[in-house]
Amino acid sequence: MSDRSAGVPPAVVTSGLPVPGADALAHSRRLTERIRHEIARGNGRIGFDRFMDLALYAPGLGYYAAGTRKFGEAGDFITAPETSPLFARCLARQCHEVLAGIPSGRLLEIGAGSGVLGADLLAELETLGQLPEQYLILEVSPDLRQRQRQTLEARVPHLLDRVHWLDDLPDPGFTGLVIANEFLDAMPVHRFRCAAEQVQEAFVTWRDGRFGQVWDAALSGGLDAAVAAVADGVGPLADGYESEINLRAGSWLRALGERVAAGVLLLIDYGYPRREYYHPQRSRGTLMCHYRHRAHPDPFQWAGLQDITAHVDFTAVADAGEAAGFAVRGYTTQAHFLIGCGLDRILAESNPQDVASHMTLMQGAKRLTLPSEMGERFKVLALARAWDRPLIGFAARDLSDRL
Ligand SMILES: C[S@@+](CC[C@H](N)C(=O)[O-])C[C@H]1O[C@@H](n2cnc3c(N)ncnc32)[C@H](O)[C@@H]1O
């Protein structure tokens, strides 16, 4: 099974992918029509970020807004909470620390996927004696909301009355913890190219019966300035250098900054500090697609049936968080975060005589922590407001100075 962080060279072609069934292809054609209409209304092109937005979130049609399986073996990719309950059990210890320090603090999960993380977190927090009064979920997909409810009903039915689905961020005054696992990488991004001292933007067209991409002078507000900020940080980008940039994360953090009065945000995702993200050798960006556990670089294949994602520039997220009134309280790899939260102690409690469950636990620990698996590509960034104590997740190693 593949996670969503694996990189593929842009030259890889998409032939060899499993072919979707007739119903899935019909669904993809409906979404394609929807996007084509918007392209026609936009004088023959739309920004790449808008294409990605529609491909992932067009109501009733986009990848996350319609009923495909997505997560786990029968889906397209696997995430850390789906890989092993160890992820939630460790994270629960970090939640325990913060909730113990913020009386009446609540937990808010953004983009809760199948609901597995919520269920496992609540179960572990109950064991630790630190259940929050409320577990809030902000999930854009109606289909996934339903799946989350089913997961929570099946796994922690006695705790369901603590779970509330929100339509928007909570009202100002929120205190507690905000968790977003693999949420930032699912935000639509702008694709840009440096060409003869000009910043160009990718636009999506419809030609000869399929979507295509053209480059033209950047039109999107803020793109020129954002690329200039990247170049300020890493040095001039070479002519022809292509990458992507997330212009939405800043406004999302500003909105959170207006709602969170005291607490900690844990943003967990695959990505790099800016210097590594916009490294001269990474000259074609990080955009990637996932279909049935195969990674490939063509975002125009089977609209609505495949995931499209980009790595996270954690320097940009940290900067935007600080501009929104948060302070960086830690940045580390997933492996070090889980170890800091007590992974070793949880594993030490496992009974090797119970061979099957011990082996499953050990295999899960390896997938979550090995550098060749999810351990190093995934990072954890903590942003906090009115919280100045050290966090256990960053005790094993804090890499904030690399941001
Ligand atoms: C890649 S999935 C990760 C799911 C889950 N956190 C996990 O780790 O398994 C991204 C999730 O974010 C949700 N999402 C995307 N944009 C969102 C938004 N603006 N507000 C709330 N949820 C969103 C998606 O529907 C999906 O549940």
DSSP string, 160-198: GGGEEEESSSPPTTEEEEEEEES-GGGS--EEEEEETTE
CA distance 354 to 348: 13
Q: Predicted confidence band at 14 (pLDDT cuts at 50, 70, 90)?
A: low
* Structural Rg of the chain based on CA atoms: 21
The 10 Å Cβ neighbour count of residue 328 is 18
- How many Å apart are CA 382 and CA 135, to the nearest integer? 19
Kindly report, residue by residue over 87-115, the tens digit of the pLDDT. Answer: 999 999 999 999 999 999 999 999 999 99
pLDDT digits (tens, 9 = 90+) for 60-85: 999 999 867 777 777 777 899 999 99
Under 8 Å between Cβ of 266 and 91: yes
Q: Is 272 in the pocket of ligand 1 (CB under 6 A)?
A: no
What is the residue with the minimal CA distance to atom 12 of ligand 1?
111
CB 119 within 8 A of CB 155: yes
141 Cβ inside 6 Å of ligand 1: yes
For residues 172 and 258, the answer to whether their CB atoms sit within 8 Å is: yes
Distance CA 136, CA 398 (A): 28
For ligand 1, what atom is nearest to the CA of residue 80? 8
120, 183, 187: residue to mutate for ligand 1 pocket, most atoms within 8 A of CB: 183
pLDDT-derived band at 11 (thresholds 50, 70, 90) equals very low
For residue 164, which amino acid is it? H
* 98, two tokens: 């913060």
Name the one residue in this structure whose structure tokens are 């996270």. Answer: 312
Q: Dump pLDDT digits (tens) for 300-310.
A: 999 999 999 99
Q: What is the pLDDT of residues 254-297, one digit of tens each?
A: 999 999 999 999 999 999 999 999 999 999 999 999 988 888 99
* Gap between the Cα atoms of 34 and 183, Å rounded: 25
Distances (CA, A) of 54 to 219, 237, 302, 303: 19, 30, 13, 9
